[in-house]
């Protein structure tokens, strides 16, 4: 019972946290501050892509953890 | 005058507790506990023609009774002396309570015939009682010295010494518990003790820490003969303890008593290091006023970034002790550490070669050997490459192919993927680059098991999500450096507020992920409680960074994040050792 409870608690934090990070990556498509000229501007699609890949990879790990639950 | 009486009383009490622990070790080693089936007295087993087992068990009970009475008397004295320093008074008041718990557990062991199975808690409580007597003893003997404001170097050295002494004391306690496990006579009983059975590992750890403590005492307090002498005594006692391992398990019960003596000495040293006057200025290694050019050897060593590697090796080491394969051999640990150091050092050296244009523009890194021109980038690159290849060979030959593969991947990930591309192109550099720092536990895990499991992947994920809060805290402090060097760190391209917000989010994700190890059954409740407590403190720092955003909050988070990771992995090893 405790592992299940703990697992779903972690999932809730994970989903909420990743949603906030995806939103932040979407928001950062446009420059937020005036950076010095020598600082390169990253590709917004690439940044969003990294965020989604990280979330997806972590979700796969959660799925594997779910499969081990008694 | 009353303090002299109390001092003698506590000294006698500590000696009695030590005797009780030593006799307890003998009881475990000879399995004599069952010879006295009654409790509290040994009337059933003790008769005129009783065997040695019954006498050993009865002798232990008498020693425990004497120790309990003296602990109680010490508490009465402490109760009647409210002016006593809290560090002396509180432990003395606590001692009989712990003693009662310990005696109660002893009764349960006898009544329920849990000989062996509950020994760990019985001995652990006895060691705590001993600590509650030894610490006040040292506090009473050594009043806290009034030290003026220390210089930067002196303060740093003193902090380092104090920290080392407490770590050594902890290692001495674990060593004593491990010796008790070895003292269990039969393999069945040894398994049932649930103790850290790798006595050699515990001894090696205590030996390394005691040697480090002695070295640090010599560096920081060489004029303090008492402190240097205590540090030398501690190292010598641990060396003597190694001889106990040569004894057969049945005779090794004596080693438990010696282990308790090591524990006491380590505690006294820790108290003395904290209370004896520190020199206002620690003598500098060299007297010349002009800064000397570092030697070529130290320059090459600094290319490997030893400070960064130490934390990576902690995660590697802890991962080795928490696999389902049990405790690894010391040789495997040694070669994995060597391979891990070479891999991380090689990647660091290649990073120094590639990052010379960035490092020269940052105050923190501009004095490194490559940007300051003492080592050519090509030489640094070749040095890094050689170390990396050596790492793969060492791990392949002495551990497992998978560990060698992960070490090689780690080098490529950090030196090429992160350094050459991510770092210079996207604000996600630290997030995705965090994968490089998360590989060491995989190396440690696969070096022991030869395969990868879900628990190892979770360890990877924990460090992956730990990396952004840790490095963004540093980036917030050093953002001007990063802007000057042209590195698109999050604070530079998105501002402080966004960075502080993302630090909070990543911290919450990381803390939540630490619970997953318990969910999948890789860790028990000891780890879960430790992870929750450590995580709560982490979230407090992250929250302060988000809300306040001032330099003390950010520096606090940065420093605590280092400690956090080390303690979290230590908690994993502890959980595995005792559950």
Give me the DSSP letters along B80-132: T-TTS-HHHHHHHHHHHHHHHHHHHHHHHHHHTT-TTTTHHHHHHHHHHHHHH
Judge: B486–A36 Cβ closer than 8 Å, yes or no: yes
Q: What is the dihedral of CA B18, B189, B444, B169, to 10 degrees?
A: -10
Sign for the CA dihedral angle at A58, A62, A67, A70 comes to positive
- Report domain extents, chain A: 45-70
Residue B399's pLDDT is 94
Judge: A32–B483 Cβ closer than 8 Å, yes or no: no
Q: Residue B542: name the closest of B470, B490, B460 by CA.
A: B470
Residue B123's pLDDT is 80
Judge: A32–B427 Cβ closer than 8 Å, yes or no: no
Which chain A residues contact residue B454 at CB under 8 A?
61, 64-65, 68
The pLDDT profile of chain B, 579 residues, written as one tens digit per residue, is: 456 778 888 888 889 888 888 888 777 777 776 667 666 666 665 565 567 777 777 788 888 888 888 888 888 888 888 888 888 888 988 888 888 887 777 777 666 666 555 566 778 888 888 999 899 988 888 887 765 666 666 777 788 888 888 888 888 888 887 777 655 544 444 443 444 456 777 777 788 888 888 888 888 888 888 888 999 999 888 888 877 777 665 665 677 888 888 989 999 999 988 888 877 555 555 544 555 667 788 889 899 888 888 889 999 999 999 998 888 888 899 999 999 999 999 999 999 999 988 888 888 788 889 988 889 999 999 999 999 999 999 999 999 999 999 999 999 999 999 999 999 999 999 999 999 999 999 999 999 999 999 999 999 999 999 999 999 999 999 988 899 888 999 999 999 999 999 999 999 999 999 999 999 999 998 899 999 999 999 999 999 999 999 999 999 999 999 999 999 999 998 888 776
Encode B204-241: b = buried (16+ Cβ within 10 Å), e = exposed.
Answer: bbbbebbbbbbebbeebbeebeebeebbebbbebbeeb
The token pair that represents B194 in the structure block: 């649930």
Residue B182's pLDDT is 59
Q: How far apart are CA B500 and CA B63, in angstroms?
A: 58
Residue B191's pLDDT is 40
A residues 17-56 lying closer than 8 A (beta carbon) to B: 17-18, 20-21, 24, 28, 31-33, 35-36, 38-43, 46-47, 50-51, 54
Contacts of B175 (CB under 8 A, 6+ apart): B199, B202, B203, B205, B206, B238, B241, B259, B262, B263
- The reply to whether B506 touches chain A by the CB within 8 Å rule is yes
Residue B298's pLDDT is 84
The residue in chain A having the minimum alpha-carbon distance to the alpha carbon of residue B496 is A33
Q: How far apart are CA B435 and CA B431, in angstroms?
A: 8
Which chain A residues contact residue B469 at CB under 8 A?
none
Cβ-contact B449, B327 below 8 angstroms:
no
B511 to chain A, closest Cα gap in Å: 9
Judge: B494–A33 Cβ closer than 8 Å, yes or no: yes
Which chain A residues contact residue B518 at CB under 8 A?
3, 6
Judge: B488–A35 Cβ closer than 8 Å, yes or no: yes
Sign for the CA dihedral angle at B115, B121, B124, B128 comes to negative
Judge: A64–B454 Cβ closer than 8 Å, yes or no: yes
For chain A, which ranges sit under pLDDT 50? Answer: none
Judge: A28–B501 Cβ closer than 8 Å, yes or no: no
B357 to chain A, closest Cα gap in Å: 13
- The reply to whether B454 touches chain A by the CB within 8 Å rule is yes
- Give the best residue of A11, A44, A61, A69 to mutate against chain B (max B CB count within 10 A): A61
Start-end of H helices in B184-305: 187-192, 199-221, 225-244, 253-275, 296-303
Residue B5's pLDDT is 78
Ramachandran quadrant class, B368 (left: phi over 0; alpha: psi -120 to 50; beta: rest): beta
Peptide bond into B40 cis (omega under 30): yes
The token pair that represents A11 in the structure block: 């999932």
Residue B576's pLDDT is 85
Cβ-contact B382, B349 below 8 angstroms:
no
Q: How far is CA B309 from CA B6, B104, B375, in A?
A: 47, 46, 21
B484 to chain A, closest Cα gap in Å: 8
Q: Residue B283: name the closest of B230, B217, B222 by CA.
A: B222
Quick check: helix, strand or coil at residue B290? Answer: coil
The residue in chain B having the minimum alpha-carbon distance to the alpha carbon of residue A29 is B494
Which chain B residues contact residue A42 at CB under 8 A?
425-428, 488, 493
The residue in chain B having the minimum alpha-carbon distance to the alpha carbon of residue A57 is B461
Taking the CB of residue B508, how many other CB atoms lie within 10 A of it?
22
The residue in chain A having the minimum alpha-carbon distance to the alpha carbon of residue B486 is A39
Q: Which CATH class is domain B296-452?
A: mainly alpha
Judge: B512–A64 Cβ closer than 8 Å, yes or no: no
């Amino acid at each position: 019972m405790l592992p299940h409870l703990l697992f779903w608690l972690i999932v809730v934090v994970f989903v909420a946290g990743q949603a906030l990070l995806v939103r932040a990556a979407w928001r950062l498509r446009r420059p937020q501050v005036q950076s010095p000229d020598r600082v390169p501007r990253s590709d917004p699609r690439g940044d969003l892509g990294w965020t989604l890949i990280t979330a997806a990879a972590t979700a796969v790990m959660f799925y594997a953890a779910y499969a081990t639950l008694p | 005058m009353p303090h002299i009486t109390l001092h003698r009383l506590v000294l006698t009490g500590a000696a009695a507790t030590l005797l009780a622990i030593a006799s307890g070790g003998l009881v475990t080693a000879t399995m004599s506990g069952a010879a006295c089936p009654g409790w509290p007295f040994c009337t059933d087993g003790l008769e005129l023609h009783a065997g040695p087992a019954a006498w050993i068990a009865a002798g232990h009970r008498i020693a425990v009774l004497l120790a309990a009475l003296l602990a109680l008397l010490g508490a009465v004295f402490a109760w009647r002396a409210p002016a006593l320093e809290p560090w002396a008074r509180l432990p003395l008041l606590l001692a009989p309570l712990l003693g009662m718990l310990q005696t109660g557990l002893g009764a349960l062991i006898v009544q329920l015939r849990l000989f062996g199975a509950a020994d760990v808690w019985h001995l652990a409580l006895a060691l705590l009682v001993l600590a509650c007597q030894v610490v006040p003893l040292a506090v009473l003997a050594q009043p806290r010295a009034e030290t003026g404001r220390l210089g930067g170097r002196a303060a740093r050295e003193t902090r380092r010494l104090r920290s080392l002494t407490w770590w050594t004391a902890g290692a001495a306690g674990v060593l004593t518990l491990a010796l008790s496990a070895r003292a269990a006579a039969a393999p069945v009983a040894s398994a049932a003790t649930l103790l850290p059975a790798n006595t050699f590992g515990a001894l090696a750890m205590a030996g390394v820490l005691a040697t480090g403590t002695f070295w640090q005492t010599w560096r920081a307090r060489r004029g303090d003969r008492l402190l240097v002498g205590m540090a030398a005594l501690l190292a010598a006692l641990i060396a003597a303890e190694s001889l106990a391992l040569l004894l057969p398990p049945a005779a090794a019960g004596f080693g438990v008593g010696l282990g308790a003596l090591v524990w006491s000495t380590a505690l006294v040293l820790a108290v003395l290091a904290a209370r004896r006057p520190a020199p206002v200025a620690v003598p500098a290694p060299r007297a010349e006023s002009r800064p000397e050019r570092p030697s070529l050897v130290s320059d090459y060593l600094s290319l490997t970034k030893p400070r960064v590697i130490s934390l990576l090796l902690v995660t590697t080491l802890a991962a080795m002790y928490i696999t389902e394969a049990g405790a690894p051999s010391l040789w495997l640990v040694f070669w994995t550490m060597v391979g891990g150091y070479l891999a991380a050092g090689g990647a660091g050296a290649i990073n120094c070669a590639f990052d010379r244009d960035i490092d020269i523009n940052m105050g923190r890194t501009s004095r490194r050997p490559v940007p300051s021109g003492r080592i050519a980038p090509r030489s640094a690159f070749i040095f890094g490459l050689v170390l990396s290849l050596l790492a793969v060979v060492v791990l392949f030959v002495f551990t497992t192919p998978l560990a060698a593969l992960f070490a090689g991947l780690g080098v490529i990930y950090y030196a090429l993927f992160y350094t050459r591309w991510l770092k210079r192109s996207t604000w996600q550099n630290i997030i995705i680059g965090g994968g490089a720092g998360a590989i060491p536990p995989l190396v440690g895990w696969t070096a022991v098991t030869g395969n990868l499991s879900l628990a190892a992947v979770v360890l990877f994920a924990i460090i992956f999500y730990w990396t952004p809060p840790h490095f963004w805290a540093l980036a917030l402090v050093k953002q001007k450096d990063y802007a000057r060097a042209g590195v698109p760190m999050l604070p530079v391209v998105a501002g402080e507020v966004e960075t502080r917000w993302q630090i909070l989010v990543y911290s919450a994700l990381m803390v939540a992920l630490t619970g997953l190890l318990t969910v999948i059954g890789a860790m028990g409740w000891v780890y879960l409680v430790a992870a929750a407590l450590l995580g709560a403190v982490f979230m407090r720092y992250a929250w302060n960074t988000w809300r306040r955003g001032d330099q003390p909050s950010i520096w606090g988070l940065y420093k605590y994040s280092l400690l956090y990771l080390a303690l979290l992995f230590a908690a994993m090893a502890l959980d595995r050792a005792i559950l």
